[in-house]
């Protein structure tokens, strides 16, 4: 009997991590009005906020580029415009400053102030968004 008990316990599934809600049948899911994967992905992409690389954060501080909450919102809008146009790496010109961003990652790579933009050539970008 101990042998039978041991074999039955060896066949029990082992779960790890955070417990989730029990699985629902497709019929139950359709009754609750589920959202498609595409809709969830688009909503997540739109909510994704801009982040700054360590290099970019240092450049913003060194070059004394002022970014208010409104400025960050506008920069996020520029990111969304770049994504909508299918850009991967974009230059965003805003309030006399330039930000080079990776649109696919939502990350600011570097920043330049108005004094440094003059006479510079910026390469390896797909496009420019002017705000």
pTM over 0.75: no
* Domain-located, residue 126: yes
* Domain-located, residue 42: no
Q: Tell me the CATH number at 82.
A: 3.30.2310
* Domain-located, residue 2: no
pLDDT over threshold 90, residue 125: yes
DSSP state, 104? T
pLDDT over threshold 90, residue 77: yes
Q: What is the pLDDT of residues 10-29, one digit of tens each?
A: 666 666 656 555 555 555 55
* Domain-located, residue 108: yes
* Domain-located, residue 78: yes
Pairing of strands 89-94, 97-102: antiparallel
Listed residue (66, 86, 80, 79) closest to 109, CA to CA: 79
């Amino acid at each position: 009997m101990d042998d039978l008990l041991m074999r039955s316990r060896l066949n029990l599934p082992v779960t790890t991590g955070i417990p989730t809600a029990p699985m629902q049948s497709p019929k139950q899911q359709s009754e609750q009005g589920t959202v498609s994967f595409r809709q969830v992905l688009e909503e997540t992409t739109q909510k994704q906020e801009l982040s700054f690389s360590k290099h970019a954060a240092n450049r913003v501080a060194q070059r004394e580029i002022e970014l208010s909450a409104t400025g960050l919102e506008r920069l996020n809008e520029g990111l969304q415009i770049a994504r909508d146009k299918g850009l991967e790496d974009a230059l965003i010109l805003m309030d006399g400053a330039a930000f080079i961003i990776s649109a696919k990652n939502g990350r600011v790579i570097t920043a330049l102030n108005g004094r440094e933009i003059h006479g510079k050539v910026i390469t390896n970008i797909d496009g420019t968004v002017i705000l």
